[in-house]
Chains A and B, each alone.
Chain A
Amino acid sequence: MKMRTMMTVVSTVALAIAAGTAHAGATFDAVKKKGFVQCGVNSGLPGFSAPDDKGVWKGIDVDVCRAVAAAVFGDASKVKFTPLTAKERFTALQSGEIDILSRNTTWTVTRDGGLGISFTGVTYYDGQGFLIKKKLKVKSALKLSGATVCVQSGTTTELNLADYFGLHKMKFKPVVYDTADETVKSFEAGRCDVLTSDQSQLYALRIKLAQPDSAVVLPEIISKEPLGPSVRQGDAEWFNIVRWSLFAMLDAEELGVNSKNADEMKTSKNPEVKRLLGVDVIKHGLGVNDDWAYQIVKQVGNYAEVFDRNVGAGSPLKIARGLNALWNKGGIQYAPPIR
């Protein structure tokens, strides 16, 4: 049996053995006790989570985990990463192998309702698109009838693909692989005409091609893919910390606080900034230090910084902010106030 299947089995067995005591705060207590956050990430998706040439994990999903570590321990480095395939991710979270799942995962009702997990927010608003070889000269996804489509298994992508082609009465043949690497490799070899995935991933996968210019991303977006971190149900405290770690980064961007000016901003006259940085102490009740948001911004950065260095202008992907701009700058990223 394959290693991955083994992992699923082991997780299932772990679930059977684990003593059944899931009281409120179980995850949070366990995290504080062991001294680090165990975070499930993608095994290799540039911009979202991938190890760099020195083996350090980089990416927007990775930074969400670092932010949580900064909030809980005041130290963004107190996090360990578990690379997961799309198939393994939910079992890993359900069985307690990881504390947070931050692995470009789409927030859907069945996942919130049926898997025993809860999504805490949206790190990246994405949508599904198509990557196609330039030489086929196809300009629209509606001209794809009869095409062979490469797709990664166990994703909402697989479902959307079938829905979209069914809706437009087009035929297609899917070829389903376990990992993004295999999907790209066989797309490159010509097994399929089109590769489908979330658009952000398409840009990330395109730079993995030997000749990135040989393929183009089609304009159509066929689905809503709000990607975000999720946690196990049954620990509201932990849920709140993960949720507000992301909100703190968004609020920091909105207030103009970033990793470079966080210390100067402590003297700011703006009451909102003071509350964010913990200068004015508020009863946040999150169970972490009052300077939690300051530590996030100081050590990880605000949302704009995280976005830019991982997927935006400061990265090879060069994805525009688009929907992911703040609500007052034409996007839909919006965080409740810290007060």
Chain B
Amino acid sequence: MTQMTDPTGAPPRPPFWNDPKIRAIVFQVVVTLGVIAVGVYLVRNLMHNLEVRGISTGFGFLENRAGFAINQSLIAYDQTSSYGRTFFVGLLNTLLVSGLGIVLATILGFIIGIARLSRNWLISKLAAAYIEIFRNIPLLLQILFWYFAVFLNLPPPSEALSLGDAVFLTQRGLYLPQPMAQSGFGWTVFAFLAAAVASYFLVRWSRRRQDRTGQLFPAFMVSLALLILVPLGAFMVTGRPLAWTVPALEGFNFTGGLSVIPELGALLAALSIYTAAFIAETVRAGILAVSHGQTEAASALGLRRSWTLRLVILPQAMRVTIPPLTSQYLNLTKNSSLATAIGYPDLVSLFAGTTLNQTGQAVEVMAMTMAVYLAISLVISFFMNWYNARMALVER
């Protein structure tokens, strides 16, 4: 800092403690240091208190034998597995219900949202009633309703509802025949992969051709046919190398085949129906945000009504819809932790519940659980932001 007056006659620079730029930096540094200091104090205090009270710390417990059984696991698990394994079982179960929930809620939400704007009085009122009912009832009540009033009221295994003696629906779950690949099934898989690659190039080619010549090619239908017929052909030619294990009632329960537990069904139904109501409103808002002139312009060009919606309205509506849609996806994922109310073995129920209680290491377990939800949410956010940037209006 110089005390000399500036020879050019400009006003003298203020002393550094009055310089707004320097002040701003100083205050930010002070606040940051303060936050770090509080954080360090809390962590040190916590470690000290845990030690004084003789509570074990550290993540060593993750390698210990868990010793309890789990109802639904996507990876191999038995009671000799470790607590670390229960973490992954819970995580995958959470991802399973959230992933399926997001897909179902999106499909249902778009249908209801578009139906809400239908010119048909009955359809639009039905959609409105759906939205008002499901978004105004607390989610936990809906989960309990689906579980105790719907799924547990299905017939017991001895009186199972059956479809062709292969599919059974009971209060203990849905039982499906399980396909077992025999030798030679690899060809079918290979044929499917080949068809997938072929349809990718087909779609690219048809889009380029349309850009160049304006001619349409039914790429969607053709690739769909490719994806179904080619593997099916390979399957037939190699002599149908697939065996089915059919579930059968044996003792207390059905055994064999694939089973879907009612807890998953109830949770999935409640989460997707609840979130779909919010998504529907988001979609409606997005569509209404597209000016009516766009529809008029489309019909002036002679586009069909269904094409107008698909090619003109929805792509523009998406720009408004995606950010709130992201929030709904995040909500659904976090709401899936209500699973613990009905005994679905998700991360909160399994890891932040049973594992926490068996090990007593609340700090580590809760920290891991919160970190996982944070990570899942950030990934969803990141993906949706990327998608949003892609969909955003490109100004030329």
Contacts of A34 in B (CB 8 A): none
The majority secondary structure among interface residues of chain B is helix
Interface residues of A in 1-46 (CB under 8 A from B): 1-2, 4-5, 8-9, 11-12, 15-20, 22
Question: A320 contacts the other chain (Cβ, under 8 Å)?
Answer: no
Which residue of chain B lies nearest to A173 when distances are taken between CB atoms in the complex?
B71
Complex interface: stretch among B130-138, B183-191, B205-213, B350-358: B350-358
Chain B nearest CB: distance from A115 CB in Å?
Answer: 4
Determine the distance from Cα of A9 to Cα of B337 in the docked complex, in whole angstroms.
15
Which residue of chain B lies nearest to A194 when distances are taken between CB atoms in the complex?
B252
Chain A nearest CB: distance from B316 CB in Å?
Answer: 36
Contacts of B48 in A (CB 8 A): 20
Given contacts A114-B359, A162-B79, 9 further A-B contacts (CB under 8 A): A2-B338, A15-B49, A146-B252, A161-B69, A162-B69, A176-B345, A177-B342, A189-B153, A193-B253
Contacts of B362 in A (CB 8 A): 8, 11-12, 15, 90-91, 94
Determine the distance from Cα of A40 to Cα of B298 in the docked complex, in whole angstroms.
69
Complex interface: stretch among B27-35, B50-58, B116-124, B380-388: B50-58
Question: A154 contacts the other chain (Cβ, under 8 Å)?
Answer: yes
6 inter-chain pairs at a CB distance below 8 angstroms, sorted by A residue, are: A116-B55, A148-B172, A154-B356, A159-B67, A191-B152, A191-B172
Bits for A169-194, please: 1 = Cβ < 8 Å to B, else 0: 00011111110001001100111010
Chain A nearest CB: distance from B297 CB in Å?
Answer: 48
Bits for B149-184, please: 1 = Cβ < 8 Å to A, else 0: 000110010000000000000011000000000000
Whether A90 and B366, one on each chain, are in contact in the complex, defined by CB atoms closer than 8 angstroms, is no
Question: A232 contacts the other chain (Cβ, under 8 Å)?
Answer: yes
Question: B19 contacts the other chain (Cβ, under 8 Å)?
Answer: no
Question: A237 contacts the other chain (Cβ, under 8 Å)?
Answer: no
Q: Which of B54, B348, B357 contacts A90 (CB 8 A)?
A: B357
Determine the distance from Cα of A20 to Cα of B42 in the docked complex, in whole angstroms.
11
Residues of chain A having any CB pair with chain B under 8 Å: 1-2, 4-5, 8-9, 11-12, 15-20, 22, 86-87, 90-91, 94, 110-111, 114-116, 136, 144-148, 153-155, 158-159, 161-163, 165-166, 172-178, 182, 185-186, 189-191, 193, 232-234
Q: Which of B55, B172, B370 contacts A115 (CB 8 A)?
A: B55
Contacts of B358 in A (CB 8 A): 154, 158-159
Contacts of A4 in B (CB 8 A): 340
Q: How many A-B contacts if CB must be within 8 Å?
A: 166
Whether B337 and A1, one on each chain, are in contact in the complex, defined by CB atoms closer than 8 angstroms, is yes
Contacts of B356 in A (CB 8 A): 8, 87, 91, 154
Known pairs A16-B45, A91-B362, A189-B171; A174 contacts B71 (CB<8 A): yes
Question: B240 contacts the other chain (Cβ, under 8 Å)?
Answer: no
Question: B341 contacts the other chain (Cβ, under 8 Å)?
Answer: yes
Contacts of B255 in A (CB 8 A): 146
Question: B214 contacts the other chain (Cβ, under 8 Å)?
Answer: no
Question: B110 contacts the other chain (Cβ, under 8 Å)?
Answer: no
Chain A nearest CB: distance from B211 CB in Å?
Answer: 49
Question: B43 contacts the other chain (Cβ, under 8 Å)?
Answer: yes
- Pairs of residues from A and B, 4 with the lowest C-beta to C-beta distance, nearest first: A154-B357, A116-B55, A16-B46, A116-B53
Contacts of A162 in B (CB 8 A): 67-69, 79
Chain B nearest CB: distance from A22 CB in Å?
Answer: 5
Whether B348 and A186, one on each chain, are in contact in the complex, defined by CB atoms closer than 8 angstroms, is no
Whether A2 and B363, one on each chain, are in contact in the complex, defined by CB atoms closer than 8 angstroms, is no
Question: B360 contacts the other chain (Cβ, under 8 Å)?
Answer: yes
Whether A17 and B71, one on each chain, are in contact in the complex, defined by CB atoms closer than 8 angstroms, is no
